């Protein structure tokens, strides 16, 4: 008999060691091709692909299974323009005043500046909101747990799903991002977490020559 509230783990697939080795290597080879891209084409992407990728992100684990995320998918040109204008205003401040010299120095190899044309060119901006609590039916606040970790994991899975589908993305975080609540009509208890810019790369897209740390540099086996 299964304890009430529980079901047998039927979704798990068991593979041989050979199969697991092959699957792990293939997944790695696919993810090694992932690059953050800043030049997007206007080529459209079907809503269905975006929906499937967001369903994949919604499979992320979360603190107390509160699933403390909300995804706003922006394809409307007027909203994209408003987001671009507000983001560029913050970024102008960042690059000309707020960012300390040391920060600007580490950003230099990425070639970023206050101009964010991709916020209008890319077919989709997926704005992820973090819900630190929810409001229940009686209007009371119900606390969520480990919300940053949970939303971070969900965004990681979203980025992976988008890459796997054959699209590119850019994690964009103009700071502060409070303007997103106004433009996207989200309640004050939701905190903008990230803008994920999604689409096809432009034909002439370039990416900085970056090195990934080696396994030795990122792992300790004990
Ligand atoms: N938000 C700014 C600056 C920026 C900060 C980091 I840390 C990056 O990895 C990249 C950019 C911008 O988007 O330009």
Question: Can you give the pLDDT at residue 1?
Answer: 65
Question: Can you give the pLDDT at residue 192?
Answer: 98
Closest CA to 119 of 81, 89, 90: 81
**10-residue averages of pLDDT along the chain (222 residues):** 90 98 98 98 98 99 98 98 98 96 96 96 98 95 97 99 98 95 97 98 97 98 98
State the Cα–Cα distance between residues 185 and 191, nearest whole angstrom: 12
> What superfamily in CATH does domain 35-202 come from?
NADH Oxidase (3.40.109.10)
Q: How far is the CA of 111 from the centre of ligand 1 (A)?
A: 10
Q: How far is the CA of 175 from the centre of ligand 1 (A)?
A: 9
* Ligand 1 contact via 115 beta carbon (within 6 Å): no
40 Cβ neighbours under 8 A, 6+ residues apart = 118, 121, 122, 123, 168, 170, 197, 199, 200, 201, 202, 205
State the Cα–Cα distance between residues 170 and 195, nearest whole angstrom: 8
Q: Write down the H helix ranges in the chain.
A: 17-32, 47-57, 77-93, 101-107, 118-121, 147-165, 179-184, 215-218
Q: How far is the CA of 63 from the centre of ligand 1 (A)?
A: 28
* Ligand 1 contact via 112 beta carbon (within 6 Å): yes
To test ligand 1's pocket by mutation, which of 88, 91, 102, 107 has the most ligand atoms within 8 angstroms of CB?
107
Q: How far is the CA of 201 from the centre of ligand 1 (A)?
A: 19
Burial of 125 (0-12, 13-18, 19+ CB in 10 A): buried
Domain boundaries, the chain: 35-202
Structure tokens at 145: 């747990």
Q: How far is the CA of 172 from the centre of ligand 1 (A)?
A: 7
Pairing of strands 168-172, 69-74: unpaired
Residue nearest to atom 7 of ligand 1 (CA): 107
Q: Write down the H helix ranges in 33-188.
A: 47-57, 77-93, 101-107, 118-121, 147-165, 179-184
Q: Give the model confidence (pLDDT) of 124-171 as tens digits.
A: 999 999 999 999 999 999 999 999 999 999 999 999 999 999 999 999
């Amino acid at each position: 008999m299964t304890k009430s509230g529980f079901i047998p783990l039927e979704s798990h697939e068991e593979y041989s060691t050979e199969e697991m080795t092959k699957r792990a290597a293939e997944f790695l080879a696919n993810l090694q091709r992932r690059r953050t891209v800043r030049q997007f084409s206007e080529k459209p992407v079907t809503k269905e692909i975006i929906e499937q990728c967001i369903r994949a992100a919604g499979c992320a684990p979360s603190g107390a299974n509160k699933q403390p995320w909300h995804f706003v998918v922006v394809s409307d040109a007027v909203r994209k323009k408003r987001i671009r204008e507000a983001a560029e205003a913050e970024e102008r401040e960042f690059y000309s005043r707020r960012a300390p010299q040391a920060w600007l120095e580490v950003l230099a190899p990425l070639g970023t500046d206050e101009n964010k044309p991709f916020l209008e060119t890319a077919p989709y901006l997926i704005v992820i909101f973090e819900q630190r609590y929810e409001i229940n039916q009686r209007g009371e606040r119900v606390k969520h747990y480990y919300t940053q970790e949970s939303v971070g994991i969900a965004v990681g899975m979203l980025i992976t799903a988008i890459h796997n589908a054959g699209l590119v993305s850019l994690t964009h975080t103009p700071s502060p991002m409070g303007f997103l609540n106004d433009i996207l009509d989200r309640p004050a208890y939701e905190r903008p977490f990230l803008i994920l810019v999604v689409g096809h790369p432009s034909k002439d897209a370039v990416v900085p020559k970056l090195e990934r740390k080696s396994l030795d540099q990122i792992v300790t086996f004990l």
